[in-house]
């Protein structure tokens, strides 16, 4: 009989997935959406179907007025003000609602960039760091879509090294204005935005943020960038030539711009994961529709095994992606409980708690989407390589996600770097757990290794993967000490292990929770997806861990640790061909993603 499960309310420490086991009631999943959240998701989905998709041909011609009209309609529905407090014209809702909106409106890459560029990095800096006067002036117009915002951090010479910005701000002789000079690159929404959240160094030294309006003296734009993808989104440089910005348009404190830039990016990263999830669902739907209609050798190509392999794998990866995205959003919401709407410092501190998870979500989901859209092109065959079909657009649009919000290389380095920093501060007992783990090398199986139940084998694989990850990080720190930050390949390999672990655990717990609530018989497709995904995730963990261990040890010690890896990663062989085929058939029958 199904058992009622609880929605998590207690805060969980960021990064603790590495050293602690979670139970289903502690993890938020899409099955936990409230009625209000479901209504918001349905509103966003209906908006995408009825407003966005019919105007896609116009939008892709880069008609600014079309994007603005679409954003204004989203504002009328409340979709632009999800995270804006009610007192400033928004809805003041939770991160899960904002994440759900981001996912459901990501039916096209170009519009997703415009939407999230405005509602996320274009709006949240003022939500969290603006003065009351700034909030009263800008946020109601952002929520309604009357004004559109943009965000300008990167420069040609700095890119991921944002603190190396050359843009300069000095106070005017009369003390009433800031005079800004410099050029910012890659501004999404630039061509039609009214406001630019911009970063420059006061007196060439103190990295700070400013709110710039398009009509202020000395503010101009360069030409539209000719991009590989996202043809319907505006990307232009912002040129500041003795730009005169009112003194009161300083955002936050002088010299504290990095707090704005990096904290807002944390939010942007996990919501980018949501956008990638939504994009992948659209690609899967198009793939299934084409496979069912395309005939070869007298039958639809959806009947062929290798086509089903692609469709099944797409659905399985999307299920894992959904799981990590909403688990992370749920943790952030639980940690934000009780924070006053104007207490930005406390809110951002609590969001920053999950910087590791946000980086993992960004990397894993963007690479998931890349795989999905590449296979979409392959499934469409020759038709996938021409503009008459959507596959090539999905393919081109997806590529930039691995660059957005900090490159995937930067985010891979952030994962172990932040875990180690927290361990050094005593916030996470990573090193103590790693030391205790070494004692297991000569011990026999523990009682926990023999547990039974729904997805018990996969739960044991999660526990084994945690041991692998912990051992890899502990040995790397022991080998290189403070010099580990120079071993980027080793850090990247650990990040790969950690991401697969987080995705696997999220998918396993989500399905266990669903089975508790609905009964195991109503979760057979999800069970098949998880059993298949866990096998593949452990394969990837095994490969990455072997490479990492070989970089930190050699000889007898390496053989000892490889033997431990074999034990921790032990699992029975499973017929993943059959499991993936089962998921594929469900997707073909459903006409798209079948596991939600």
- DSSP one-letter string for 123-156: THHHHHH--HHHHHHHHHHHHHTSS-EEEE---T
**Nearby residues of 407 by Cβ (< 8 Å), 6 or more positions away:** 160
Dihedral over Cα of 30, 32, 35, 36: its sign: negative
Neighbours of 309 (CB within 10 A): 16
> 249 burial class (0-12, 13-18, 19+ CB within 10 angstroms)?
buried
Sign of CA dihedral 270, 273, 278, 281: negative
C-alpha angle with apex 589: 278 to 591, nearest 5 degrees? Answer: 35
Handedness of CA 24, 28, 31, 34 (dihedral sign): positive
Q: Which tokens go with 127?
A: 């939500």
| Beta partners for residue 236, in sequence order | 187
Residue identified by tokens 């939504």 is 278
- The pair phi, psi for residue 558, each rounded to 5°, is -65, -45
* Closest among 116, 119, 121, 411 to 275, alpha carbons compared: 116
Exposed / middle / buried, residue 263 (Cβ in 10 Å: 0-12, 13-18, 19+): buried
Residue 525's Cβ-count burial label (10 Å; 0-12, 13-18, 19+) is buried
Q: Which two tokens stand for residue 418?
A: 């932040």
Which residues does the annotation mark as catalytic? 405
In whole angstroms, give the CA distance from residue 564 to residue 115: 48
CA 90 from chain centre, in angstroms, equals 24
User: Could you report how far apart the first and last alpha carbons of the chain are, in Å?
Assistant: 21
| Backbone torsions φ then ψ of 549, nearest 5 degrees | -60, -40
Specify the long-range contacts of residues 390-393, CB closer than 8 Å, at least 24 apart.
Answer: 390/286, 391/283, 391/286, 391/287, 391/290, 393/60, 393/109, 393/229, 393/231
* CA 318 to each of CA 230, 281, 428, 468, 593: distance values in angstroms, whole numbers, following the listed order: 22, 7, 30, 25, 8
Distance CA 91, CA 27 (A): 25
Q: Give dist(CA 190, CA 212) in Å, integer.
A: 12
Number of helices followed by number of strands (H, E) in the chain = 19, 10
Residue 561: burial class (beta carbons within 10 Å; 0-12, 13-18, 19+): buried
Q: CA–CA separation, 523 vs 586, rounded Å?
A: 12
């Amino acid at each position: 009989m199904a058992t009622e499960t609880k929605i998590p309310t207690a805060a969980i420490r960021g990064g603790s997935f590495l050293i602690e086991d979670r139970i289903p009631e502690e993890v938020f999943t899409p099955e936990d959406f409230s009625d209000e959240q479901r209504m918001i998701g349905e509103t966003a989905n209906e908006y995408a179907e009825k407003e966005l998709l019919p105007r896609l041909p116009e939008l892709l011609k880069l008609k600014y007025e079309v994007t603005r009209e679409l954003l204004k309609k989203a504002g009328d529905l409340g979709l632009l003000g999800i995270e804006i407090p009610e007192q400033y014209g928004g809805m003041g809702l939770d991160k899960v609602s904002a994440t759900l909106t981001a996912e459901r409106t990501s039916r096209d890459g170009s519009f997703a960039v415009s939407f999230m560029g405005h509602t996320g990095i274009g709006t949240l800096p003022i939500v969290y760091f603006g003065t009351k006067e700034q909030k009263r002036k800008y946020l109601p117009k952002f929520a309604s879509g009357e004004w559109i915002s943009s965000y300008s951090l990167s420069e040609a010479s700095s890119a991921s090294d944002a603190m190396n910005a050359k843009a300069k701000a000095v106070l005017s002789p009369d003390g009433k204005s800031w005079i800004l000079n410099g050029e910012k690159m890659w501004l999404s929404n630039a061509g039609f935005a009214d406001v630019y959240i911009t970063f420059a160094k006061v007196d060439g030294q103190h990295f700070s943020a400013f709110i710039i309006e398009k009509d202020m003296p000395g503010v101009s734009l360069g030409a539209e960038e000719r991009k590989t993808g996202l043809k319907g989104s505006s990307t232009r440089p912002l040129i500041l030539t003795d730009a005169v910005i009112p003194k009161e348009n300083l955002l936050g404190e002088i010299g504290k711009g990095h707090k704005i830039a990096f904290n807002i990016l944390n939010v942007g990263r996990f919501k980018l994961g949501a956008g990638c999830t939504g994009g992948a669902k659209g690609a899967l739907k198009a793939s299934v529709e084409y496979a069912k209609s395309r005939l070869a050798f007298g039958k639809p190509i959806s009947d062929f095994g290798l086509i089903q392999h692609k469709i099944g794998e797409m659905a399985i990866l999307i299920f894992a992606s959904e799981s990590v995205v909403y688990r992370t959003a749920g943790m952030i919401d639980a940690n934000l409980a009780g924070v006053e709407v104007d207490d930005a410092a406390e809110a951002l501190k609590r969001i920053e708690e999950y910087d590791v998870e946000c980086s993992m979500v960004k990397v894993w989901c963007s690479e998931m989407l890349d795989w999905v859209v590449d296979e979409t092109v392959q499934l469409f065959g020759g038709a996938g390589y021409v503009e008459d079909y959507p596959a090539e657009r999905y393919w081109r649009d997806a590529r930039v996600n691995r660059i957005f919000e900090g490159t995937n290389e930067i985010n891979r380095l952030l994962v172990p770097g932040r875990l180690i920093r927290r361990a050094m501060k005593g916030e996470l007992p990573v090193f103590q757990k790693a030391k205790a783990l070494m004692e297991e090398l000569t011990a026999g199986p523990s009682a926990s290794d023999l547990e039974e139940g729904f997805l018990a084998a996969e739960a044991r694989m999660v526990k084994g993967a945690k041991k692998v990850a912990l051992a890899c990080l502990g040995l790397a720190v022991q080998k290189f000490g403070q010099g580990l930050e120079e071993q980027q390949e080793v850090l990247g390999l650990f990040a790969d292990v950690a991401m697969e672990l987080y995705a696997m655990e999220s998918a396993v717990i989500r399905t266990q929770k669903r089975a508790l609530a609905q009964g195991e018989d109503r979760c057979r497709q999800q069970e098949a997806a998880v059993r298949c995904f866990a096998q593949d995730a452990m394969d990837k963990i095994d490969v990455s861990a072997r490479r990492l261990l070989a970089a930190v040890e050699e000889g007898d010690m390496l053989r000892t640790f490889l033997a431990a890896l074999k034990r921790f990663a032990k699992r029975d062989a499973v017929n993943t061909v059959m499991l993936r085929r089962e998921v594929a058939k469900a997707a073909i029958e459903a006409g798209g993603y079948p596991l939600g």
